Homo-oligomer: A and B are copies of this chain.
Amino acid sequence: MAEPFALAVDAMGGDEGPRAIVEGIAQAGERHKLARILLVGDASRLTPLLAASPAAASCCTVRHAPDVIDASARVAAALRARNASLRVAIDAVAAGEASGLLTAGNTAAVLAISKTVLGTMPGIHRPAIAGILPSQRGTLVLLDLGANLVCDARNLVEFAFMGDGFARIVLGQAAPSIGLLNVASEPEKGDDRLLRAAEILRASALGAQFAGFVEGHDIIGGKTDIVVTDGFTGNVAMKMGEGALRFSGALLRQALTGGVAARLAAFLMRPSLKRLRQRIDPWQYNGAVMLGLNGVVVKSRGSTDGAGFSRAVAVGLNMVGNNFNDRIREAVSKNVLF
């Protein structure tokens, strides 16, 4: 068999269609020499886009898939769509033709098909979705973002192990600190599930990194490098943080356009405002990852443009290039959790 592709990219997922996907690959290719990519989708649309983009064409091989799973598709229908670009791309990962998957498609469909086709990693009961947010520390890994709306203590502990691997491998952190999200930070406060997860973590190989319970304001406040919670709470927290940052950004823009003095101020502040925008941009790390599957799975936001997608390409290549899944598997197998 030929050397595998680094990534199978679902070219049809996402609200902006294949143009944004090809543009994202081209932009990533301008920054880094790219590994080989299997670009899966409607060949009649992909071929002309690649012809117009030498940077993308130089690393992409097209595989035709006639169907598309759209953003509103139900999971059951998505699982039956065997000729959809997302499914063909995941099949290529399962067959060992590509080391990882990258898609901007429907999250529920990506998760369901990945679980079915790739399977869950040995030692892990439930895959989780992890994302990166800005924080006072610089970055913050938050998980689960919605793969598991209800979690038990065991799931939360596994999320901590997977989050640890993600922070070490993708963000290069040496011994990331880990917090368990709660409504109080005192170690004796919490429901049985949280108290049990904390007890297991304290006694685990992550014991020295485990900082106990953290509260909502500690997430962006940067008390720890990683925050672990169930998928319902994590989803709400992430979106709440993004909404709040966008709100303050909108108010700042208003403040900087309200009159001559404000516009002069905006001019004087241009460099520092640019840095500010970059720091609080919730999209700076586009690419949530689905951890705990037999294969690297990176999920870009559906509404991404080319620039956003190029960041997800970088996350995917980084994970694949660093043998992310082998290292997580090894870490989990060394720490028999239960």
Contact = CB atoms under 8 A, between A and B. Distances in A.
Interface string A236-263: 1111111111111111101110110110
Contact of A280 (B247, B259, B266): B247
B183 A232 contact: yes
Given A231-B183, A232-B233, A244 B265 contact: no
Given A241-B244, A245-B248, A181 B236 contact: yes
Contact of A272 (B248, B258, B269): B258
Interface in A155-196: 181, 183, 186, 191
A333 interface: no
Nearest to A239: B216
A236 B272 contact: no
A61 interface: no
Contacts of A249: 248
A220 interface: yes
A204 interface: no
B135 A247 contact: yes
30 contacts: A146-B183, A149-B183, A149-B191, A215-B236, A216-B235, A216-B238, A216-B239, A216-B240, A217-B240, A217-B246, A220-B246, A221-B243, A221-B246, A233-B233, A236-B236, A237-B240, A240-B244, A247-B280, A248-B248, A248-B252, A251-B276, A251-B280, A252-B276, A255-B272, A256-B272, A258-B272, A262-B269, A262-B272, A264-B265, A268-B268
Interface in A260-297: 261-262, 264-266, 268-269, 272-273, 275-276, 279-280
Interface of A: 72, 134-136, 146, 149-150, 181, 183, 186, 191, 215-221, 229, 231-233, 235-252, 254-256, 258-259, 261-262, 264-266, 268-269, 272-273, 275-276, 279-280
Complex copy number for this chain: 2
Contacts of A266: 265
Given A241-B241, A255-B275, A258-B272, A247 B134 contact: yes
Q: Taking chain A's interface residues, is the majority helix, strand, or loop, or is none over half, making it mixed?
A: helix
B240 A255 contact: no
Contacts of A135: 247
B243 A245 contact: no
A248 B246 CA distance: 10
B239 A217 contact: yes
Nearest to A259: B272
Contacts of A254: 272, 276
Contact of A220 (B235, B247, B262, B280): B247
A254 B268 CA distance: 14
A218 to B, nearest CB: 7
Given A240-B216, A243-B217, A247-B221, A269 B275 contact: no
Contacts of A150: 191
B240 A219 contact: yes
Nearest to A245: B244
